[in-house]
Amino acid sequence: MSGPQVAIDLGRIERNARTIVDRCALSGIQVFGVTKGTCGMPQVARAMLRGGVAGIAESRFENIRRLRDSGINAPIMLLRSPPMARIEEVVRTVDISLQSELATIRELSRIAERMGRVHDIMLMIDLGDLREGIWPNDLIPTVEQILALKGVRIAGIGTNLGCFGAIMPTEENLGQLVAHAYKTERLSGARLDWISGGASSSLTLLLEGRLPAGINNLRVGEAILQGGIETFRETPWAELEPDACRLTSDIIEVKLNPSRPIGQSGYDAFGNQPVFADDGDRLRAIANIGREDVLIEGLTPIARGVRVLGASSDHLLLDVTDAEPPPAVGDRVAFRMSYGAMLLAMTSEYVE
C-alpha cells in the first residue's frame, strides 16, 4: 500500500442489509439500498441485493451507468431530479425517479412518449426539511396536471427528512405523508406502488413501533454501509455491524512536539484561527491524508489512545501519546468514517 485506502467488508454490508430487510418485511416495507456513499460500486450493490433489498437507489448517472454496465439489472431508483439535458438517459436507464418539478415531469413525459414508454415517478412532498418537494397545499393541482400526461405514471409518493434541514421523521410528519398518498390515490383512482417514508433516519420509528401504517418503502444507505452509527446515536441497533467501510493511511512522521504552536498566531491555510491548549510535550504522528481527501471532522481512530488534532490539505495530525504500542513510521492507522467522511473519501482520486 502506498497511500490512503478504503477497505470495504462486503460480508458486513450483506448482513446489515439482510437484518434491515427482514425487520422491514415484518411491517410490509420494501427496502431500496442506497449505493451513492460508495460511488455506485457494483460489488456493494450486489452485496445489498444478496441481503434482499428490492432495488438500488442512486443519485449520479455515472454510478448508474457503472451499475448497468456491470450487469446489474435490478430496479434502480434515481434519487435526484435530472437536468433537462439528461432526461432521455433517465427514461432509458432507471425504473423510477424522484420528481418534484412540473417542468421536468412534463419533459420526462414527452421523451418517454417519443420512446414508446411510460416512466414511473415518485412525487416528492416537502414536509419541512426543505431539501426538495412540492408543498402539501400544491399536491392536488400538481397531481391533476401530471395525470393529464401520457408518458409518466405516479408510482409513488415520498419525502426526504433528516438531510438539509435536519428535520427528523416523526409519527406526525410521516402520518401526513400517508394521508397525502391516500389523497393521490383517490384522485387518480389507482393504488400507489410506493409510499416512501424516507431514509435510514426513519428506522428508529420502525424499531419503536411508531412508523405510521401505510408506509411501504424506505431508501437505506447509512444503516447498511455503516451499521447505523449515525442513525442510532443513543441506542445502537445491536444486530447491525459497524465498520463495513474503514479508512487506513500511512504514518509518515512520529515526533515528540510541543502541543501548542510557537510564534505569532494568524490564520491557517483554510482561513481559520485555531486555538490550541498547552498540554506540554506530546508524541505526535502525521498520516498521509488531509482535507483534500476526506472530511477530517468525520474521522474516529479505531486504535485506543489515538486522537485527531487537525489537518492541512495533505497532512493529518494525530496525538499518539497514549497509544499502546505507539505507532512507528510505516505503520498503518485505521479510522471509522462518518457518512460525510465516507462520501468524500470515496470520491477522492487520491484514496484507493
Q: Which residue has the cell 482561513?
A: 271
Rounded Cα distance, 326 and 152, in Å: 61
255 is catalytic: no
Q: How far apart are CA 194 and CA 178, in angstroms?
A: 10
129 and 162 Cβ atoms separated by less than 8 Å: yes
| 283 phi and psi angles, rounded to 5 deg | -75, 125
Give me the phi and psi of 314, to 5 degrees please.
Answer: -125, -10
- What φ, ψ does residue 91 adopt, rounded to 5°? -60, -35
Distance CA 247, CA 236 (A): 22
Q: Is 71 exposed, middle or buried (0-12, 13-18, 19+ CB in 10 A)?
A: exposed
Residue 318 burial (CB count, 10 A): 25
Q: How far apart are CA 32 and CA 336, in angstroms?
A: 24
- Residues labelled as active-site residues: 36
